Amino acid sequence: MLPPKAFTIPAHGAAMPAIGFGTMLLPQRPVELVAHAIKSGYRLIDTARKYGTEERVGEGIRASGIARNELWVTTKVTEENAREADFLKSAETSLKTLGLDYVDLLLVHWPQPNVPLKETLGALAKAKRSGLTRYIGVSNYTLAMLEEAVRVCPEPLITNQLEYHAYLPQDRMLAALRGYGMILTAYCPVARGQLLDDPVIKDVAKAHGKTAAQVCLRWLIQQPMVSAVPRALEEAHIEENLDVFDFTLSDDEMKKISALRSKRVRIADPPERAPKWDVEPV
């Protein structure tokens, strides 16, 4: 069953689906998994040049039989291509690899400290103005980077995609993004499986007749201006992750899950490209 259209999040003229299908490290049958996700009701498919899955995502889109204008496709330009000429060439390569005329959202994948943000964000805006993408955003930006990006980018940014789950606080980032009218798009939404055995999560899941993963995702999207792009490697899990629109967590349950942030578990922290992360209060 398709999620209601109401479960999109508005940001600067965009209406981003609250749940998307993440395609990083899809090991086997990626075309079939992408096609199944779309047929199951996903309308947002998230990929990146760095993932190496763009070609398979494009094939999966075509195999699904769903019209292109019903889908939201996100891809990202890697930090190695932060210079303007390289950036635009990367975006064009992504479209060719995907077999698409445009993407719905183009992101700067990781910050590049050796290239001025103004140059990279200018190239990102140029990609939008030239029709390569409908909307633009950033990924893995700190508070200071986000503030500068909003200031120097000639076009509105609609999201900062970064790690967010119940074990990692992002309160100040959420407040900043909401102030800019932007969405926090959460990757690693179940902390790469670490949350699935948490007793608090399991108790809440049992109370609702849902799985731990569904509770984790519901906790995220029940917060204002938060979306999520979970990855799944089995068809049953793909369907499970989308089945989060028929229940609501109580205020008490939301608070109990939010209290888990004191664990401060960060999954994605590659030393070769990660910035110095903000220290968030709990």
Q: Which of 209, 236, 12 is nearest to 125 (CA)?
A: 12
User: Alpha-carbon distance 61 to 159, whole Å?
Assistant: 23
H helices of 153-258, where?
A: 171-179, 199-208, 212-221, 235-242, 251-258
**DSSP helix, strand, coil percent of the chain (3-state; round to 5):** 45, 20, 40
* DSSP sequence for 48-100: -TTTT-HHHHHHHHHHHT--GGG-EEEEEE-GGG-SHHHHHHHHHHHHHHHT-
Q: CA dihedral in degrees (100, 83, 170, 274; nearest 10)? A: 110
Burial grade of 265 (CB within 10 A; 0-12, 13-18, 19 or more): middle
Q: For 244, how many CA atoms within 13 A lie in the half-sphere containing its CB?
A: 28
Instruction: Write down the catalytic residue from 51, 135, 164, 167.
Output: 51
Identity of residue 79: E
Q: Which of 77, 195, 86, 194 is nearest to 140 (CA)?
A: 77
SS3 state at 33: helix
- Other residues' Cβ atoms within 10 Å of the Cβ of residue 8: 17
Contact by Cβ (8 Å): 122, 84: yes
For 34, the token pair is 């992408």
- Look up 51 and say whether it is catalytic: yes
Q: Which active-site residues does the annotation give? A: 51
